[in-house]
Amino acid sequence: MQKLIIVCGLPGSGKTTLAKELSRKLKITCIHKDSIKENLYEILELSTLEDSKRIGGQSIQLLYKLTEEQLENGLDLIIEAPFYFEEDYEIFRNWKLKFKLKIYSIICKINNKERSKRFQSRERHQGHHDTERLSDTAMSNEVYKKLPGKIIKISTDKPPKKLVEELSKFLK
């Protein structure tokens, strides 16, 4: 059965690092929302927080389009982004029915103190304007209650390779 693995979590929760390692281990392509956003930000020569917010929505739309194209081709896929909007979950449910998918929703968690520390100390593309978005660190994992498919909550306080070993058991 075709698989869609959704890796999500709040900013600074380790989702990108985990998704990259999972992609390598499982040999499944991963589409990262931030990779799309950062490339568009540069190509379009953007510079402001308003640009970042606008391009964020467009990046998600492009991620959805690219994902659907790959699902139509019958490929397993990993997608990675915060995915904290109800509209995201409706799209995932529609894909599940349309493509007869097995969906795994991996929710990356970390305690708020560590997440805030990661959020403030990490090197990120200037297109995210992280210093202007510190309020994002106050968000809660409660937004993920309605994710479709098999939900796997994982604490990202271990090395990514160890986390992927643990996850591999659930994703077969």
Tens digits of residue pLDDT in 92-132:
999 999 999 999 999 999 887 887 777 677 675 555 545 54
Q: Which CATH superfamily is domain 3-168 in?
A: P-loop containing nucleotide triphosphate hydrolases (3.40.50.300)
Per-residue tokens: 162: 């160890």
- Residue among 90, 76, 79, 88 at smallest CA distance from 34: 79
Closest among 151, 153, 20 to 78, alpha carbons compared: 20
Per domain, the residue ranges of the chain are 3-168
CA gap 77, 91 in Å, rounded: 15
Cβ atoms within 10 Å, residue 5: 25
Residue 46's Cβ-side half-sphere holds a number of Cα atoms within 13 Å equal to 22
| Percent of the chain residues topping a pLDDT of 70 | 88
